Structure 1
Amino acid sequence: MEWGLAGLGVPTLTRSGLLVAAWLGITGGLHLDGAMDTADGLAVPDPQRRLAVMADSRTGAFGVMAAIILLGLKTAALVDLTTGQWLAVMAAAGWGRWGQVVAIARYPYLREQGKGALHKAAIRPAQDVWPGLLSLLGLSLLFWGLYPQQWLLAVGIALGGNAIAILTGAWFHRQLGGHTGDTYGAVVEWTEAFVLCLATILQ
């Protein structure tokens, strides 16, 4: 999509905005909705009320701010990425979903029922975690092979993406004592945004 828009002469900022919009459309906004609900819940000082706030279908101010920050960071990072954009986009999407799988496998699920309960019940850590990790490391290795001069970006995305994915899930667990379907989505969104930002530093 990026190459096609560039070929049509679409300016960089507009291309980046359209790419983020398409990215959001492909997921149906599911993960972003979870990130917004999580932000609303974490904004509540009383830990006992956080899950109830997250379950509320209404979006609060903190949820809106989280969405603006996430979409803004992704768009800005794509504008600033002058090399290795395809690696950054694929890696961000991959590490985000891998971090979600790690959170599902590693941490308790906080609701008796919910959309995330199905994933928690079906998770198979050995079969679900390791293949994804190897695939993402292989992606960076492929990029390194194609562009040896950009080895720092390849290695940094591999190591940094892994760390970001794991630490993001761990942070939400520390705040709530576990995870919900909303925080699974938040792990995806924040990991994607941070990996893209990391790529701008490493390029």
Structure 2
Amino acid sequence: MVNLYGWAFWYAMAFLTRLPVPYLKRTDAQVAAASLIFYPVVGLLLGATLLLFTLACVVYSPQVSSLLLAALVLAIWVFFSGALHLDGLADSADAWVGGLGSKEKTLAIMKDPQSGPMGVTVLIITLLIKFAAIYALFEQTLNHGIGNSWLLCGGLILVPVMARSSVLAFLATTSYVRSEGLASALLQGATVTRCVVIAAMIAVTCVVLLQTQAIFILALWLTLIALARQIMMKRIGGCTGDTLGAAIEVQEAVLLAAIAL
């Protein structure tokens, strides 16, 4: 059992990031299904990395520019996933515009490795929103006392966890539209029980970190999940790796902006 969850963790890391992982001796359906419980953990590792990097920069240079620090944090954020989710966002944006009215055309465009004007535009807007939100969080915390440090933790740690946890909700309530071998295993691993438990843990953490903002942020998160699911179901009747990546990126941008407001 320990061995199963060990490989499941590394499977989740390989699926959600582009960081080097040990050679996966097991990639069977059982490992794929178990890997879903580690999606929030991957988000937590990302968030912890961002927060520790921020603290290290502040200790090294107490007068560090919030503008520069925001750019560096965003660069690490993108590097952690190898721009994997951004690629899914660009592909989905191109597909939703170019494949309007056709499921088959939408799926075909998503497989095209080249990004069109809409994909590039959406990428720029998303990254700008993220950058501005991170900068605003730093301005509220680093330059105006550490009293708002919980807000910074909420933005850098909670947001990556929430966005990646939502993948379980999509897999639990939709079908995977492409015929890939391990897709059925992922769907089986996304049980309602796991979704409820993870959502409850996130809700408690959200209340602790964001306090008065918690209810609004949680409601916004659930609304984003519901809207993304509706959009996916209406156009392609389910989800793909690209649409899941797009959902992660959109959630991160919107939630970061909401916390920073």
TM surpasses 0.5: yes
Gaps of 5+ in 2: 1-52, 141-147
The answer on whether the counterparts of 1:105 and 1:120 sit within 8 Å (CA) in structure 2 is no
Cross-structure match for 1:3: 55
Distance in 1, matches of 2:185 and 2:254, equals: 24
Q: Structure 1 residue 32: deviation in Å?
A: 1.1
Q: Is the 8 A contact 1:92 1:196 kept in 2?
A: yes
How big is each residue's C-alpha offset from its partner over 1:122-156, in whole Å with a ceiling of 9 and x where there is no partner?
42313431222022112113225xxxxxx322332
Q: Secondary structure at the match of 1:38?
A: helix
Aligned to 2:117: 61
The equivalences for 1:39-54 within 5 A come to 39-44=93-98, 45-47=100-102, 48-54=104-110
Contact 2:126 2:253 in 1 (8 A): yes
Partners of 2:185 and 2:258 in 1: CA distance = 29
**Cα distance in 1 for residues equivalent to 2:64 and 2:152:** 16
Q: Within 5 A, what are the aligned runs for 1:11-50?
A: 11-44=65-98, 45-47=100-102, 48-50=104-106
- After the TM superposition, which residues 13-162 of structure 1 pair with which residues of structure 2 at under 5 Å, given as runs? 13-44=67-98, 45-47=100-102, 48-81=104-137, 82=140, 83=148, 84-113=151-180, 117=183, 120-143=186-209, 151-162=211-222
Sort the Cα spacing of 1:86 and 1:119 in 2 relative to 1 into closer, same or farther, 3 A: farther
Which has the higher Rg, Structure 1 or Structure 2? Answer: 2
- Deviations, residues 37-91 of structure 1 (Å, cap 9, x unaligned): 1111011134231100001111222111121111111110111122412112222
The 1:169–1:191 alpha-carbon spacing in structure 2 relative to 1, beyond 3 Å, is: farther
Task: State the identity as a percent.
Answer: 25
> Would the alpha carbon gap of residues 160 and 43 (structure 1) be closer, same or farther in structure 2, given more than 3 Å must change?
same
Q: Secondary structure at the residue paired with 1:186?
A: helix
CA distance in 2 between partners of 1:101 and 1:119 (Å)? 12
The alpha-carbon distance between structure 1 residues 14 and 62, as it changes in their structure 2 partners (threshold 3 A), is same
Q: TM-score, normalised by structure 2?
A: 0.68
Name the SS of the counterpart of 1:43 in structure 2.
helix
Q: Which amino acid in structure 2 is aligned with residue 130 of structure 1?
A: V
* Greater relative contact order, per chain length (Cα 8 Å cut-off, separation 6+): 1
Letter in 2 for 1:64: V
Superposition CA RMSD, Å: 2.0
Residue pair 2:153, 2:209 contacting (<8 A) in 1 also:
no
TM-score between both structures, scaled by the size of structure 1: 0.85
